[in-house]
Structure 1
Amino acid sequence: MSTNRVAVVTGSGKKRVGAVVAEALAARGYDIAVHYRSSAAEAEETATSLRRHGVAVQTFPADLQDEGTVRGLVDAVLHQLGRIDVLVNCAAIWERKPLEEVTAEDVRRHFDTNALGTFLMCQHVGLAMVKQPIGGVIVNVGDWAEVRPYLGYAAYFPSKGAVSAITRSLAVELGTRNPKVRVNAVLPGPVMLPPDMPADERRQVIDATLVKREGTPQHVAQAVLSLVENDFLTGVLLPVDGGRTVFAGDGDSPA
């Protein structure tokens, strides 16, 4: 069995932020547990790419809304890779819909994936980390706009706001059980904007930042690494948003 540190990255099967975070950790020498829900082929492609760093990589399917499945995932990672040093919760859904059309099922689906899935992973991985003398680090991925939400995502933003509360709560719960267990969150801003976003809306989003450009998944990955490696940070919610959180602009654009 490898003696490398081990990182679990949820939602890293698809080529989105999670895969880039997994890449950054693999480049640091971490063995990687690639989590996916249904995209098995994409997850294996990601795993193949990560193995070029000379680390062990395995793929793990799981529906994170199901507590038994989450327990099974954690047990499988511990059995096959031996330990969990880092958990990064990247799995999420976001759907745009006018408030008038949002249903209870829309809200429930977002909470089940974005909030409940994050909580269950933090709970079960965190309690496993508590038992490890070396502890561990959890980094959740929220959203900067939970504090200044924009139109069209009324089911999404409440579920992401819960991620911040989960981060603070689990930092306290786990840290009091083992001071070497830390929990933080990254709150990305305009990163990987939808490819079908209208040009004028994209320009609005970029202009609403102080740095006047779109962010990249690499910016998120760099923030994750900083929260993992700085052992005096816990309970931190770090915006990675080009200054969008603090910048009102000219009348504050809704993006």
Structure 2
Amino acid sequence: MRRVALVTGSGKKRVGAVVAEELARRGYNIAVHYRTSEAEAADTVAALRALGVEAEAFRADLGDEADVKGMVAGVLTRFGRIDVLVNCAAVWQPKRLEDVTAADVRFHFDANALGTFLCSQHTGLAMVKQPEGGLIVCVGDWAEVRPYLNYAAYFPSKGAVTALTRCLAVELGTRNPNVRVNAVLPGPVMLPPELTDAEKTEAVRATLVKREGSPRHVALAVLSFLDNDFVTGVCLPVDGGRTVYAPE
């Protein structure tokens, strides 16, 4: 039976779509998650099917528990199992601290922290019932340890991802030792389009490798967790050395 991967946030042409493509090239059938990007998700599904795998799009608001439960149930009904979950869905909106509201904080936590938790919880409990278990990969952010200005609502929500990664590695692994939970903490792998050229140059200069990464670097980290089944509860920076380097 062909293995199945659910990749959240893979409808849009961002990191999730690249992760989905790399998993498809490994022979995984793909459940493509989207919230509002129905047309883009359909394009992603078509591209994945062209690689010779089965693919289907599933809509869900990841901050809504009923939606998440429905999505997981839908994937299980369609494919019969889930072997890999990659939590790529995320939001980020810059705003000065003076302007951040409680609604802004809730918006980021619902999408980035609660959404990741709910998907991991309900998919993970399904994996526990599979003798082969499964792999969950969360996506955090390297800069939780050295936050940029003007993202005070965003970074706390991403900091929660590392905590829930360790927590769920323990919770799920004690139920089935073949269920593993890890996280990737990307650095500058897809710089926001609103950055100026000067800001982009500065972001690259601040890495040790002196170049921008790509979404494929995140996908390769996901594949490395697949290849090494002795790794769980790990939060891996994929940041060109940005975490350890403090340029003057």
TM range, smaller chain = over 0.9
Quote the Cα distance in structure 2 between the aligned partners of 1:173 and 1:235. Answer: 11
What secondary structure does 1:165 align onto? Answer: helix
Quote the Cα distance in structure 2 between the aligned partners of 1:35 and 1:100. Answer: 34
Higher mean C-alpha deviation, range 224-233 or range 159-168: 224-233
Corresponding residue for residue 30 of structure 2: 32
What secondary structure does 2:231 align onto? Answer: coil
Residue correspondence of structure 1 range 102-117 to structure 2 within 5 A: 102-117=100-115
Q: Deviations over 1:143-187 (max 9, x none)?
A: 000011110100000000000001000000000000000000000
The two structures have a TM-score, normalised by structure 2, of 0.99
Corresponding residue for residue 3 of structure 2: 5
Quote the Cα distance in structure 1 between the aligned partners of 2:227 and 2:58. Answer: 25
Cα shift at 1:196: 2.6
What secondary structure does 1:8 align onto? Answer: strand
- The one-letter code sitting in structure 2 at the alignment partner of 1:92 is A
Cα shift at 1:195: 2.1
- The one-letter code sitting in structure 1 at the alignment partner of 2:129 is K
Quote the Cα distance in structure 1 between the aligned partners of 2:104 and 2:225. Answer: 32
Residue correspondence of structure 1 range 62-77 to structure 2 within 5 A: 62-77=60-75
Corresponding residue for residue 59 of structure 1: 57
Quote the Cα distance in structure 1 between the aligned partners of 2:159 and 2:185. Answer: 10
Quote the Cα distance in structure 1 between the aligned partners of 2:194 and 2:105. Answer: 24
Corresponding residue for residue 216 of structure 2: 218
Higher mean C-alpha deviation, range 73-82 or range 192-201: 192-201
What secondary structure does 1:177 align onto? Answer: coil
The two structures have a TM-score, normalised by structure 1, of 0.96
Corresponding residue for residue 125 of structure 2: 127
Quote the Cα distance in structure 2 between the aligned partners of 1:101 and 1:215. Answer: 31
Question: Which ranges in structure 1 are unaligned for 5 or more consecutive residues?
Answer: 251-255
Is the 1:14–1:43 contact (alpha carbons within 8 Å) kept by the matching residues of 2? yes
Match of 1:20 among 14, 18, 21: 18
- The one-letter code sitting in structure 2 at the alignment partner of 1:29 is G
Is the 1:139–1:228 contact (alpha carbons within 8 Å) kept by the matching residues of 2? no
Corresponding residue for residue 253 of structure 1: none
Corresponding residue for residue 42 of structure 2: 44
Q: Percent identity?
A: 71
Is the 1:44–1:59 contact (alpha carbons within 8 Å) kept by the matching residues of 2? yes
Corresponding residue for residue 96 of structure 1: 94
What secondary structure does 1:148 align onto? Answer: coil
Q: Which runs of 4+ in 1 moved over 3 A?
A: none
- The one-letter code sitting in structure 1 at the alignment partner of 2:96 is P
Is the 1:186–1:237 contact (alpha carbons within 8 Å) kept by the matching residues of 2? yes
- The one-letter code sitting in structure 1 at the alignment partner of 2:54 is A
Question: Which ranges in structure 2 are unaligned for 5 or more consecutive residues?
Answer: none
Corresponding residue for residue 195 of structure 1: 193
Query: Is structure 2 residue 106 aligned with structure 1 residue 83?
Result: no
